[in-house]
Amino acid sequence: MPQPVALVTGATAGVGLHTAIGLARAGFRVLIAGRDATRLEHARRTVSERAHSDSTESVPVETVLGDFASLAAVHGIADTVLTRHDRLDVLVNNAGQIMPRYETSADGFELTLAVNHLAPFLLTNLLIDRLRGSTPSRIINVASIAHRGARLDLATWTGPQGWTPLSAYGRSKLCNILFTRALARRLADTDIVAACLHPGVISTKIGDSAGSIAGWGWRFIKPFLTNPEKGATTTLFLATTPDIERFRGAYVIGKRSAEPDRAARDDVLGEELWRESARLVGLT
């Protein structure tokens, strides 16, 4: 049996880093993607050393450099993976951020949405044939309970209308769930399972930049939140459980399927989101 290959985005810190460590310990050749070469190399050493401490064999860990704020860079990430590896067993779309002020991506889209939804949407589609050729395979999207109460207006979703740090983040997480469900419908007759999850409210730096008031509140409560290692538990469960089929298209909390907000179950909206996302990222 060839060694399984897993790609984890946003893997230089927090939940992504601990996801990579867990996958390496589980026997995967792990590819970690991030936008900063120095941080990537530090993460590579950390993953390799932490995984190697549980094994007598060296643990292969590779870095893939690319910034999710640029669709061209996402193409570069995909090209690197496809060039280096003839198989991909698990794709973990983990990268995410909250912006303290309205900014746009290199392609002119609201930055939170660009990084948290459009980039993983594009990356998944660019890698889908490699996943299809490596079945049984899995696509795991890290969503959030922050999707609850979010609304999605595809006429204004990539612009500044009504923008706040938390509303933009919630909207992007709603997109993650709608995307997962739409993807699962397209993969219904394959051995690729797509699922998404809420990792818990995790003590990472992601909330530090959620605007002045929200960011201050986040920093205040952060010491009382779940640590990133525990936050990776659900992702690792979905990546490794032999009983993955029952989570096809599911939104998972802990080790159980949960019901997301009503807007996240609007499959008509999900199809509209898919078509608009494909148009914006240049997919036919």
Confidence (pTM):
0.91
Which pLDDT value is given to residue 215? 46
Tens-place pLDDT, residues 84-93: 999 999 999 9
pLDDT at 200: 82
What count of Cα atoms within 13 Å lies in the side-chain half-sphere of residue 8?
29
163: Cα separation from own chain's centroid: 22
Determine the pLDDT at residue 227.
Answer: 72
pLDDT of residue 49: 92
Torsion angles phi and psi, residue 183, rounded to 5: -65, -45
- Take residue 282 and report the two structure tokens written for it: 């240049």
The per-residue pLDDT for 221 is: 37
| Residue among 196, 186, 214 at smallest CA distance from 261 | 196
| Residue 169 annotated in active site | yes
pLDDT of residue 226: 60
Token readout for 277 is 């996302």
CA 172, 174, 178, 181 torsion: positive or negative? positive
Minimal CA–CA distance to 120: which of 186, 64, 68, 198? 68
Cα 91 to Cα 118: distance, rounded to the nearest angstrom: 16
Q: What is the pLDDT of residues 215-272, one digit of tens each?
A: 443 343 334 346 778 889 999 999 999 999 999 999 999 999 999 999 999 999 999 9
Of the residues 28, 68, 157, 169, which is catalytic?
169
**pLDDT beneath 70, residues of the chain:** 53-58, 202-226
SS3 call for 116:
helix
Neighbours of 183 (CB within 10 A): 23
